[in-house]
Chains A and B, each alone.
Chain A
Amino acid sequence: MSAHPVNGPSSFALRGRSYGAEPPAEPVRARRPRRAPWLAAILLLLALAGWQLGGAAWIQAKALLAQHLIASSWAKAKAGEAKRPWPWADTHPVARLTVPSRGIELYVLAGTSGRSLAFGPGHVDGTAAPGAAGNSVIVAHRDTHFAFLRTLHEDEEILVEDALGRVARYRVRESVVVDKHATRLLDPADSPQLTLITCWPFDALQPGTDERFVVIADRLPA
C-alpha cells in the first residue's frame, strides 16, 4: 500500500529526467506539471486584479448605494425630522440636486469631510444654503457623483430642492479651472448662485491633483 505514494512522485521524477532523451509517451499528463507555474502567475495577477478592481468597485458602490440610503432619509427630512441616513452617519442630506437634461439625481450631504464625500456631494459649511440667496457651494468627487460636470455645458439647468421642498432653478453660467487655493470661490456672492467644484483634470490617474474644475450657475427667477 505504501508503494503508491512513493511511486507517484518517483515516476514523476523519472519522467522528468527522461524528458530530454525521448519524446513523452503521454503529452497530456506531461503538460500538467508545466502548467503549475503559469497557473500561479495567473492566480497572482488575478488576485491583484481582484484587489484593485474591488477597490475601484467599492468606491463606486459606496457612491451609488449611499445615495439610495440617503434618498429615504431625505424623505424623512422633508417630513420635518433631520434624520441620519444610517445610524452611525456623521452627516445628513440637505438638498436634492437634479440635472433633468442628464438624468442626474444626487442627494447633497452637509459638510465636506472625506468620509461624507464618498457617499454624496457635500455642501460646504458656511456658504449659503442650497437654493438660498448668496453663493452656495457644493463639492463632490470627480470620478463618481460629479463626473458629469465634465460634459455639462453653458445654459444647462440644474435644480436644487431644499428640505422644505422648495425648488430653485439654476442655469450654468460658466465653467473654469482654478488652483486649489482659490478659496475666494467660497465667498458670499451678491446674487444667488450655485458653485459646483470637483477635482481636475478628470483623467488624472493619481488622486491629489492641485486644480479644481468649477461650474458656476445663476439662479433663475422663480
Chain B
Amino acid sequence: MADKSGGKGIAAAAALADFAGLLGKAVVSGIAAGVLLALVTLGLATTANAQSKPNDAKTGTLLFRAGEGAFAPAPKVETEVTIHVTGIVARTRVSQTFHNPGAEFVEGVYVFPLPENAAVDRLWLRIGERVIEGQVKEKEAARRAYAAAKREGKKAALVEQQRPNLFTNAVANIGPGEFVRVQIEYQQTLTLDNGEYRLRFPLAITPRYEPAAGSEGDASLHPAQEPGAVPGFRKTGGVPDLPAEAVLHPDYAPAGCGAVNPVAIGVVIDFGVPLAKAASSYHDAWIEQESATRTVLYLQREQEEADRDFELVWSPGGGAAPQAAVFTETIGGTDYTLLMVMPPQPTAAEKAAIAPLPRETVFVIDTSGSMQGTSIRQAKESLLRGLATLTARDRFNVVEFNSATRPLWPDALPATEPNLRFARDWVSRLRADGGTEMAGALSFALDGRDTPGYLRQVIFMTDGAVGNEDQLFRLIASRLGATRLFTVGIGSAPNSHFMAKAAQFGRGTFTYIGDLREVEEKMSALFAKIESPVLKDVAIRWPDGTPVETFPARVPDLYLGEPIVVAAAHSPHPGTIVVSGLRGTEPWSVALTPSPSGEPTGVGALWARAKIAVLMDELRLGADETLIRPAVVKVALEHHLVSRYTSLVAVDVTPTAPGGETKSSLVKASAPLAAAAGELPQTDTAFTLQLLLGLLALAAAGVVALVGRFIPAGGAQAPAREAEGVR
C-alpha cells in the first residue's frame, strides 16, 4: 500500500513537471510569436507612415520636423520696429532683415502678426544700396508677379494678409550668406480707454498667459482673441508656384538658446502736451522725455525675445470737458478727416452735478436649456445686480426667452419699489429649459421705439448658443433705432464672437462674465459705464453740408472713458466742423477747424481701412461677395492697402539667382512663453492600438493552437518536436 502510494506520488510529480514544462513552452512560444508579429506589423506601419508623407505633400500638406529640420537651414529674420505716435495716430515701420545662412538660394516665408486695425500701405525691398518700392495689386496678380520673379531668379517680396491681424512676408531668391531687408509700414488709430492710450505691437506666436493687469478675465479662456501668429498656418490657395513645398510651420527653437528672430522696438510719442505717465507693460524699457512734447522709448535690451506682446500705455494730463482733435489729409481732390472726441473724466462733484438721463432698461435673459446649471445662476445674479442700479426715475422691463419669448410686462414700467420687488420675484422663479429662439426676444426688445427723454438700453444676457448669427445681426442692425444693445456673455464658453459682433451692431459693448464671483465686479463696471452717457445724440456738421461718408456711419454715444473716433471722406471745403450732442440734458457742441499741415498724415489710409472693415462686416451679414470684393479692391488699390483681396509685391529688376526651383523654408519662430496656453481638441481614440493588440492576441492564439497541433502524442522525442514547433 505504502509502495503504491509512493509510486503514485512520484508519478504525479513527474506529470506535474511535464505539465509545467509544456505550459511554459506554450506561453513562451505564444509570446515569441506575438512579439514577432508585433515587430512585423510595426515595421509595416512605419513604412506606411513614411510613405504617406509624399502623398500628403501632393495635396498641399506641409511636411515638418519639430527638431532638426530636413530642409535647408532656415533663414533668420531680425525685426526692427519704429513707431511714431502723433496724437491718436501711430505710424509704424517694421524692418525685417532676412539672412540666409545656407549655401543655396532660398525663399523665406515669415508669418507675423500685426494689430487688428493696421492699415498696411507701404513695402520696400532693400538689396544693398538699391530700394524697390512695392506696388499694391490684386491678390492673384500679385502672386503671379511674385511667382514669375521667383522663377526668373529675381529677388521679390510679397506681403499678404491671411487674417485681419495676420500677415505673411515671402522673400524669393535670398542668396547664400545674403541679407535682404524688407520694410513694411502701417498706420493705426490708438485705443483710448479711461484716459489711457494703449499701443500694442504683437510679438508672440501663440496665445499665452497674460498678467491680469490691463486685461479682463482669464486670458486662457479666450486665447484665440489674442493676436499672435499661427504656427503652421499655410495658405497656398492653389497657386502653383508660391511656397510650393514651403513649410509655414515654424519649428520651435530649443528653449534657452536666446532670441531666434530678435525684435528691437523704438517708439516716439509726439503728443503736443506733456505726458502724465508712460510705461511699457511687459518689457523693460528706457523712457526719455526729450522735450516738453516729445517722449522717446526704446526697449532696454536691444534684442528682445519675441515671446510676449509689446504694450505701451501712457496718459496725458487731461481736463474734465470733452476734448476734440481733428486731422486732415488731401489725396486726389478728396479731404480725409479723422475726428476724435475725448470724453471728460468728470470729478465726483461734476458727476453729481450732471443729471444723467433717466434710463429705460430692458433686461433680456436667456433661459434656454444650454443655460442650465451655473450659467442661469450667473445670469440671474447679473440681472438682479442690474435691477439694483435702477432709480425711481428709470423705467424697466424684463424678458425671458427660450423656445418662446415671455416678457414680464407688455411695456416698460417705472422702477418703483413694488415693481422692482415683483420683478425680483419673477426673476428668481426663472428656470432654464427649452430651445434658444433669440430672434423673438430681440424683436421684442428692439422694437424701434424711442421713449423721449429716456436713454433706451437693452442688456442681453446669454451664452450665445445660436446657429443663426447672421440673421440676428441683420435683425439688430435693422431694428436698433435709438436703442443701445449691451451683451453680457454668461457661462464657461460663451459664443464671444457672436456677442462682440452683436454689441457692435447694437452700438453697445460686450461684457464677459466667466465666473459667479465676477458678476458683482463686471456688472458694476458695466452699469457704471452705461449709467453715465457723457454724450448722447452725437451729430457732426460738415462745412458745406454735402453728404459725407463717415466710418462708423452712425456715431455711437459717448460713455464714460470711451472716445469717439470718426474717419470721414469729403470734398475739400475749408471751414469748421461742428460736433454736437447732449451732455446730460444740456446741449453741447464744439467747433473744430482743421489746420492742414501739408504733410501726409495717413488719415486717408485709416479711412480706407475703416471702410474695408465695414465692407467685410457686410460680407459677414450676408452680403454678396461678388459685390463686396470689387468694392474692397477699389478702395484698397486707391489707398495702396493690403487687404484680403490685395497684396503688396516688390520685384527686383535684375536676376541674381540661377532661377528655377529654389528651396523654400520657413523662418523659425520663438517658442511661446507658455506653450500649452491653447490647444486644438484631441481627436484620436485608442482604436488603432486596440485593434492591433487584439489582432496580435488573436494571431498569437492561432500560433499557439497551431503549435499545439504539432505536439506529438507523447514519448521521448516529444521535446525535440516541440522545439521544432516553436521554430
Contact = CB atoms under 8 A, between A and B. Distances in A.
Nearest to A18: B11
A126 B497 contact: yes
Given A154-B238, A174-B236, A183-B207, A13 B12 contact: yes
A101 to B, nearest CB: 15
Interface stretch (B450-458, B558-566, B703-711): B703-711
A189 B235 CA distance: 13
Contacts of A153: 59
A27 to B, nearest CB: 4
A4 interface: no
A94 interface: yes
A112 to B, nearest CB: 4
B468 A132 contact: yes
Contacts of B232: 176-179, 182
A191 interface: yes
Contacts of A52: 690-691, 693-694, 697
B714 A24 contact: yes
B61 A190 contact: no
A98 interface: no
Contact of A184 (B23, B48, B228, B688): B228
B240 to A, nearest CB: 12
B678 A181 contact: yes
A39 B26 CA distance: 9
A129 B52 contact: no
Q: How large is the interface on B (under 10, 10 to 19, 20 to 34, 35 or more residues)?
A: 35 or more
A110 B686 CA distance: 23
A36 B700 CA distance: 17
Interface in A138-181: 139-144, 146, 153-154, 162-164, 173-181
Interface string B418-450: 000000000000000011100000000000000
B56 A181 contact: no
A175 B18 CA distance: 61
Contacts of B39: none
Given A42-B701, A132-B468, A221-B626, A122 B681 contact: yes
B576 to A, nearest CB: 38
Contacts of B714: 19, 23-24, 27, 30-31, 34
Given A41-B30, A82-B436, A179-B231, A199 B684 contact: yes
A180 B677 CA distance: 11
Given A56-B690, A139-B681, A185-B680, A130 B231 contact: no
Nearest to B4: A10
A1 interface: no
A140 B683 contact: yes
B369 A56 contact: no
B30 to A, nearest CB: 5
B8 A203 contact: no
B689 A176 contact: no
B8 A13 contact: yes
A181 B204 CA distance: 13
Contacts of A65: none
A118 B686 CA distance: 11
Contacts of A46: 697-698, 701
B687 A59 contact: yes
Contacts of A3: none
Contact of A37 (B19, B59, B625, B684): B19
Interface string A77-89: 0001110000000
Contacts of B683: 117, 139-142, 146, 197-199, 212
Nearest to B496: A126
B173 to A, nearest CB: 25
A16 B713 contact: no
Contacts of B62: 176-177
Contact of A191 (B22, B644, B676): B644
Contacts of B87: none
Nearest to A45: B701
B439 to A, nearest CB: 11
Contacts of A221: 624-626
Contact of B163 (A95, A110, A175, A189): A189
B687 A17 contact: no
B695 A53 contact: yes
B716 interface: yes
A5 interface: no
Contacts of B320: none
Contacts of B591: none
A176 B231 CA distance: 12
Contacts of A199: 682-684
Contacts of B621: 133
Contacts of A182: 206, 230-233, 680
A207 interface: yes
B611 to A, nearest CB: 14
Contacts of A183: 206-207, 223-224, 230, 678-680
A69 interface: no
A82 B230 contact: no
B257 interface: no
Contacts of A124: 681
A178 B467 contact: no
Nearest to A127: B497
B687 A143 contact: yes
A205 B692 contact: yes
Contacts of B692: 205
B578 interface: no
B149 interface: no
Contacts of A31: 711, 713-714
28 contacts: A14-B11, A17-B14, A28-B713, A33-B15, A37-B23, A38-B22, A38-B707, A41-B27, A41-B704, A48-B693, A53-B698, A55-B686, A81-B435, A82-B368, A126-B224, A127-B497, A139-B680, A143-B684, A143-B685, A154-B59, A173-B238, A176-B248, A181-B672, A181-B677, A187-B163, A190-B616, A205-B688, A205-B692
Name the 6 nearest CB pairs between A and B, nearest first: A52-B694, A53-B694, A184-B230, A38-B708, A178-B232, A37-B23
Interface of A: 10, 12-14, 16-17, 19-20, 23-24, 27-28, 30-31, 33-42, 45-46, 48-56, 59-60, 80-82, 94-95, 110, 112, 114, 117-118, 122, 124-134, 139-144, 146, 153-154, 162-164, 173-191, 197-199, 201-210, 212-213, 221
Given A118-B685, A188-B497, 17 more contacts: A14-B7, A14-B8, A17-B10, A38-B711, A42-B708, A53-B694, A59-B685, A129-B468, A133-B619, A139-B683, A176-B62, A176-B248, A178-B231, A180-B682, A184-B229, A190-B619, A206-B689
Interface of B: 7-8, 10-12, 14-15, 18-19, 22-23, 26-27, 30, 34, 42, 45, 48-49, 52, 56, 59-64, 66, 163-164, 166, 206-207, 222-224, 228-238, 248-249, 368-369, 403, 434-436, 465-470, 493-497, 616, 619-622, 624-626, 644, 672, 675-698, 700-701, 704-705, 707-708, 711, 713-716
